[in-house]
Copies of this chain bind each other. A is one copy, B any other.
Amino acid sequence: MLTQDRHTHLLTLLRQDGSIVAKTVSQDLGVSEDTIRRDLRALAQAGQLKRVHGGAVPLAAANAPFDARTSIATPEKAAIGRVAAGLIEPGQTVFLDGGTTAVQVVAHLPPGLRATVITHSPNVAVALMAHEGVQVEIVGGRLLRHSVVTSGAATVAWLARYRPDLCLIGATGLHPGQGITTGESEEAEVKRAIIARSGAAMILASSEKLGAVAAFEIATWRDIDGVVTAPETAAHARALLSATGCAIHA
């Protein structure tokens, strides 16, 4: 294994998992921890990552002019992305919501997957360019600045032409009594519209969303088919949402 290969491997790992643990990687690659530490030192010197005790994390926003918001992947979001990516079957047509978690789903798609992905997030669309076998459809409309997805009446109208097998939706609040909610009314409309048209609807849920409630309802528990969480938070999610009869994927 070349030094360069290790470097790219480390950067890929960083993008996928949101962090690097020196010890783990050294065992995976069969080299000493010293070597990994030296690599991390070099990459940090080159401004490609930030060293921390025990390993490394991505740089904080400043350096990346483009996908500043999308590239900061927390380990939990990476884990959710991995699980959600596993739910997509070859040949399916899938709607992918916007947000950092959705980008993580893309990062964990099996290489060579053949599928069709519909999205209203330009970030997700760009990330999907790395997957040769995936056909991408973008939903047009006005781009919301804070969440970087299209929305509004035109977007909802455009959605009418799709009937995806599966949709993966982000949300701000998942509450056993109050249902699934988000903080932006236009976004809520889009999410609601696509859930209604999808064969199956899954909610991408990081731990801080569990038990929370936001201002606008996206769906009730009857409307959706599953919640995707990180393995670490699965037990918590199951306990909280047991009454809803909703499946938990982790």
Contacts and interface: CB of A to CB of B under 8 A. Distances in A.
Interface stretch (A2-10, A179-187, A191-199, A235-243): A2-10
Chain A contact residues, majority secondary structure: mixed
B137 A143 contact: yes
In the complex this chain forms, how many copies of it are found? 2
A229 interface: no
B127 A8 contact: no
Given A11-B65, A138-B140, A158-B158, A126 B130 contact: no
Contact of A122 (B21, B63, B138, B141): B138
A142 B148 contact: no
B129 A69 contact: yes
Contacts of A139: 140
Interface residues of A, number: 48
A143 B136 CA distance: 5
Given A66-B127, A138-B122, A148-B129, A4 B143 contact: no
A30 interface: no
Given A4-B19, A53-B3, A136 B142 contact: yes
A126 B129 contact: no
A222 interface: no
A226 interface: no
Contacts of A61: none
Contacts of A66: 11, 69-70, 126-127
A67 interface: yes
B136 A137 contact: no
A162 to B, nearest CB: 10
A215 interface: no
Interface string A3-29: 111001001100100110100000000
